[in-house]
């Protein structure tokens, strides 16, 4: 049974950089897509980006200039960095593992990130 | 970007009902369409992947169909635990876009 556990700072000031990490327990790290998704309070889901089993990232063009997704296979972890945060980036951020057809089979518990001065 | 449009946005139904939620893509996405269920304060849960494949552990009252641009999620014999919000997602291309969600509540 794969479990994803995520952590990172939940309160940021405008212009700061968000840093979240997701650890994968109980399953293989290779051969999957490793994704980040966010959800503003009371709203829908937005795909931030993913990194595939070859370590090649792919980002939402709307965030591309500010986002970095990386993987540390030695620790079975992957990470998200989002720079120049504003109030519009306030959301619950989820990590997820992509399987068949890049569908998101397993999810982290979510981290509420609030941007406020 | 491929736009995903769900209908209806909200739906009221009773335990035992059969409900259908529709998702339409702005261009053909073959069968690369997934359905998720989300309850308040929880992460989404995968129900159906590549249009019609039932995720392991998901009850068989959930089913998906469609290809190209039009897809449906059907829930037969609604159970109390099925009242939630449902999202579709295309994974045909990046950015991998979601529908706006359908909130299913108790009539």
Instruction: Give tens-digit pLDDT for B47-91.
Output: 999 999 999 999 999 999 999 999 999 999 999 999 999 999 999
Q: Contact, A81 vs A63, CB < 8 A?
A: no
| Nearest CA-CA partner of B66 in B97, B103, B101, B21 | B21
In chain A, the percentage of residues whose pLDDT exceeds 90 is 85
Residue B66 pLDDT:
98
Q: Is B49 in Cβ contact with A100 (below 8 Å)?
A: yes
Length, in residues, of chain A: 117
What is the band of A30 on the pLDDT scale with cuts at 50, 70, 90? confident
In chain B, the percentage of residues whose pLDDT exceeds 90 is 98
Q: Is B57 left (phi over 0), alpha (psi -120 to 50) or beta?
A: left
- Tell me how far CA of residue B106 lies from CA of B13, B22, B36, B81, in angstroms: 5, 19, 19, 10
Q: Is A102 in Cβ contact with B87 (below 8 Å)?
A: no
Residue A29 reports pLDDT greater than 90? no
In chain B, the percentage of residues whose pLDDT exceeds 70 is 100
Q: Which B residues, 79 through 98, put their C-beta within 8 Å of a C-beta on chain A?
A: 87, 89, 91, 94-98
Q: Are strands A11-12 and A111-115 parallel, antiparallel or unpaired?
A: parallel
- Tell me how far CA of residue A93 lies from CA of A68, A84, A109, A111, in angstroms: 14, 16, 9, 5
Q: What does the pLDDT look like over A31-90, one tens digit per residue?
A: 899 999 999 999 999 999 999 878 899 999 999 999 999 999 889 999 999 999 999 999
> Tokens 């840093």 belong to which residue?
A19
Q: Which residues lie closer than 8 Å to B82 by C-beta, 6 or more apart?
A: B37, B61, B75, B104
3-state SS, chain A, equals CCEEEEEECCEECCCCCEEEEEEEECCCCCCCEEEEEEECCCCCCEEEEEECCCCCEEECCCCCCCEEEEEECCCCEEEEEECCCCHHHCEEEEEEEECHHHCEEEECCCEEEEECC
User: Measured between CA atoms, how close is B77 to chain A, in angstroms?
Assistant: 25
What is the band of B13 on the pLDDT scale with cuts at 50, 70, 90? very high
Q: Is A99 in Cβ contact with B36 (below 8 Å)?
A: no
Q: Is A101 in Cβ contact with B97 (below 8 Å)?
A: no
């Amino acid at each position: 049974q794969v479990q994803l556990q995520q952590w990172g700072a939940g309160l940021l000031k405008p212009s700061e950089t968000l840093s979240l990490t997701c650890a994968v327990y109980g399953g293989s790290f290779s051969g999957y897509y490793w994704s980040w998704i966010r959800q503003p309070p009371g709203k829908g889901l937005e795909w931030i980006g993913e990194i595939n089993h070859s370590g090649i990232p792919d980002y939402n063009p709307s965030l591309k200039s500010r986002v970095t997704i990386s993987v540390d296979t030695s620790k079975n972890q992957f990470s998200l960095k989002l720079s120049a945060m504003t109030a519009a980036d306030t959301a619950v951020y989820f990590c997820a593992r992509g399987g068949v057809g890049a569908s998101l089979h397993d999810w982290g518990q979510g981290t509420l990130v609030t941007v406020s001065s | 970007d491929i736009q995903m449009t769900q209908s209806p946005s909200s739906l009221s139904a009773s335990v035992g009902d059969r409900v259908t939620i529709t998702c339409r893509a702005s261009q053909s996405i073959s069968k690369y369409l997934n359905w998720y269920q989300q309850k308040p304060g929880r992460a989404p849960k995968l129900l159906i992947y590549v249009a019609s494949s039932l995720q392991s552990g998901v009850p068989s009252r959930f089913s998906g169909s469609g290809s190209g641009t039009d897809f449906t999620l059907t829930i037969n014999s609604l159970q109390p635990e099925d009242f939630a919000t449902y999202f579709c997602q295309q994974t045909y291309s990046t950015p991998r876009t979601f529908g706006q969600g359908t909130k299913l509540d108790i009539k």
